[in-house]
């Protein structure tokens, strides 16, 4: 039970991290197009 909970937490953190990375890439792409 405890293991399952921590696994869910890890998945949440991973998805959050992925979201941050994609946002960064999107921002970099947008910025490079402006310049």
Cα–Cα distance between 14 and 3 in angstroms, integer?
Answer: 16
Is the per-residue pLDDT at 35 higher than 80?
Answer: no
Of 1 and 32, the one with more pLDDT? 32
pTM higher than 0.75: no
Task: State residue 4's pLDDT score.
Answer: 87
Q: Residues 5-28: pLDDT tens digits? A: 999 999 999 999 999 999 999 999
Neighbours of 11 (CB within 10 A): 10
Cα–Cα distance between 31 and 35 in angstroms, integer?
Answer: 7
Task: State residue 9's pLDDT score.
Answer: 93
Neighbours of 12 (CB within 10 A): 10
- 3 pLDDT tier (thresholds 50, 70, 90): confident
């Amino acid at each position: 039970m405890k293991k399952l909970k921590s696994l869910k937490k890890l998945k949440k953190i991973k998805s959050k991290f992925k979201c941050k990375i994609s946002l960064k890439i999107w921002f970099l792409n947008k910025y490079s197009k402006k310049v």
